């Protein structure tokens, strides 16, 4: 069982929405980059939202800058956990990130998008009051493990972000 630690939040004073994953997978932890697995569709989906069709090919720093330029912040619901491999279903001994503090620090954020079931269930467990206070959306996971969603369907579902940015 490996100890896993989330990355820092990517957010600035102009952020209007917050996307929360659960915990970075093995490839992301190795690369120290969110959504680093080449089969994860997150950057393709965000490319559509940010009007940058080649976003997936940008450098990591440019990807993050593009999100912030579009008022999108990025973090994880879980701060630390134990897990073997990358599956959310294998997460144990989780502790949440301090999402309340982040939201107080960045008061322009009005909507929270939870990337997948584990991000949503952990958020609901640790922050039930925030589900009432913010526009919160449980989104289909961009993980390659979520094969029942095509890239086109993911882009359509995730497109709701555009109403808030």
What's the rounded Cα separation, in Å, for the pair 135 and 53?
A: 27
| The pLDDT of residue 72 | 98
CATH number of the domain encompassing residue 102: 3.40.470.10
Q: Which pLDDT band holds residue 29 (cuts at 50, 70, 90)?
A: confident
Q: Does residue 40 have an active-site annotation?
A: yes
Tally of domains within the chain:
1
**Whole-model pTM?**
0.93
Given 2, 40, 97, 135, which residue is catalytic? 40
| The pLDDT of residue 92 | 76
Q: Domain range holding 119?
A: 2-163
Mean pLDDT value of segment 55-77? 96
Predicted confidence (pLDDT) per residue in 121-161, tens digit = 999 999 999 999 999 999 999 987 777 888 899 999 999 99
């Amino acid at each position: 069982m490996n100890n896993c630690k989330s990355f820092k939040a990517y957010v600035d004073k102009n952020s209007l929405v917050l996307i929360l994953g659960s915990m970075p997978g093995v490839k992301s932890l190795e690369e120290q980059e969110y959504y680093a697995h080449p089969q994860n569709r997150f950057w393709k989906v965000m490319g559509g939202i940010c009007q940058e069709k080649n976003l997936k090919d940008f450098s990591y720093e440019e990807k993050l800058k593009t999100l912030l330029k579009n008022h999108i912040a990025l973090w994880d619901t879980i701060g630390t956990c134990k897990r073997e491999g990358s599956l959310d279903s294998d997460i144990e001994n989780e502790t949440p990130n301090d999402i309340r503090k982040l939201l107080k620090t960045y008061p322009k954020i009005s909507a929270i998008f939870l990337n997948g079931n584990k991000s949503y269930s952990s958020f609901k467990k640790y922050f039930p009051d925030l589900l009432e206070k913010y526009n919160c959306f449980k989104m289909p996971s961009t993980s390659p493990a979520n094969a029942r969603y095509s890239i086109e369907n993911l882009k359509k579902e995730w497109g709701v972000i555009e109403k808030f940015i």
